Amino acid sequence: MANKNSSKSRCNWVNLENPLYVAYHDKEWGKPVHNDRTHFQFLILEGAQAGLSWETILKKRIHYRKVFDNFDPRKIAKYTKSKTDKLMQDSGIVRNRLKIESAVSNAKAFLALQREFGSFDKYIWQFVDNKPIQNTGKILSKTPLSDKISKDLKKRGFRFVGSTIIYAYMQAVGLVNDHAAGCFVRQRENIPWYVYLIKTKDNTLYTGITTNVQKRLLEHESSKKGAKYLRGKGPLALVYTEKVGSKSKALKRELIIKKMTKAQKMQMIDKI
């Protein structure tokens, strides 16, 4: 369910009194992650959360990054007992020896997975066929898929990766999208994106993406929000639009079109 006690409707688990938590929900939670360092960070922090709340961990995250070498698995894998003993004295993190020591063993297992698959990202996204699972119903604590991933990670030497922890990790890195149906983040994701081409007065073609083509054209023509490339090149003419879907798909399509020759672009325009 969504929390409507604010200017924006958000998932009901968000503490609206905590700006840090609100920002995490709005900008991070459920957004697909494809950076290995970020994957490792969430694995470690979700494990640290066990028995606690994510809000507690979120408040400590900046300090975690500082004392855990910005979650570099290569450095953490080399931590000695004196280093973990020092971490046990640090009040800025969760002082649980098993959790701290698991970060070291997990770093070693993480590096092994990178060597085997090329990246942890390739390994983990294969479980969802490289496409986020879209949920709009009741948020669960674990699923058969989180059971499967948990089991595989444990076989590979990971610790503090039980099914509940892994499902929370899956939500955090966007393997599953659990934003409520009424949440503004979910609604924003459902807005279609378009690729468009604009012709300038000197007959060059500009390619861009947007969710509102006419509004974007007006911005290019009359405001500082428009592309610098188009300034002083009016009058501008919108010569092509293509509904693509998600922003990621629009970015990929934009790149394809940008790599086309002008003749190929004109041929595409003439087919409209």
Using one digit for the tens of pLDDT, what is the confidence trace for 142-169? 999 999 999 999 999 999 999 999 999 9
The DSSP secondary-structure symbol of 13 reads T
Given a contact cutoff of 8 angstroms between Cβ atoms, the answer to whether 77 and 108 are in contact is yes
Select from 65, 37, 49, 56 the least CA-distant residue to 99.
49
Residue 24 falls in the annotated catalytic set: yes
Look-up: residue for tokens 């390739």? 122
- Residue 46 is among the residues annotated as catalytic for this protein: yes
Please indicate whether residue 54 is annotated as part of the active site.
yes
Confidence grade of residue 1 (pLDDT, cut at 50, 70, 90): low
Residue 187 has pLDDT above 90, yes or no: no
pLDDT for res 4: 57
Global pTM? 0.72
Res 106: pLDDT: 98
| Confidence at residue 177, expressed as pLDDT on a 0 to 100 scale | 92
Cα separation, 76 vs 78, in Å, equals 5
Q: What is the C-alpha to C-alpha distance for residues 174 and 131, in angstroms, rounded to an integer?
A: 9
Report the candidate in 46, 44, 36, 35 with the shortest Cα–Cα distance to residue 111: 36
Region 217-237: what's the mean pLDDT?
A: 88
Q: How confident is the model at residue 66 (pLDDT cuts 50, 70, 90)?
A: very high
Q: What is the pLDDT of residue 17?
A: 94
What local confidence, expressed as pLDDT, does residue 271 receive? 82
Which of 46, 123, 167, 196 is catalytic? The answer is 46
| pLDDT for residue 63 | 97
* Higher local confidence (pLDDT), 233 or 138: 233
The one-letter amino acid code at 5 reads N
Question: 21, 54, 79, 194: which one is catalytic?
Answer: 54
State the Rg of the chain over Cα: 23
Q: Is the pLDDT of residue 224 over 80?
A: no
Calculate mean pLDDT across residues 81-108.
97
Identify the H or E element spanning 206.
Answer: strand 205-210
More confident residue, 214 or 139: 214
Kindly name the residue from 24, 101, 206, 221 that is annotated as catalytic.
24
- Residue 177: strand pairing partners: 134
Q: To the nearest whole number, what is the mean pLDDT of the chain?
A: 93
Asked if residue 12 lies in contact with residue 1, where contact means CB atoms within 8 angstroms, the answer is yes
Please state, for a pLDDT cut of 70, what percent of the chain lies above it.
97
Alpha helical stretches, state H, 174-245: 184-189, 213-222
How high is the pLDDT of residue 223? 72
Under the banding of pLDDT at 50, 70 and 90, the label for residue 5 is low
% of the chain beyond a pLDDT of 90:
78
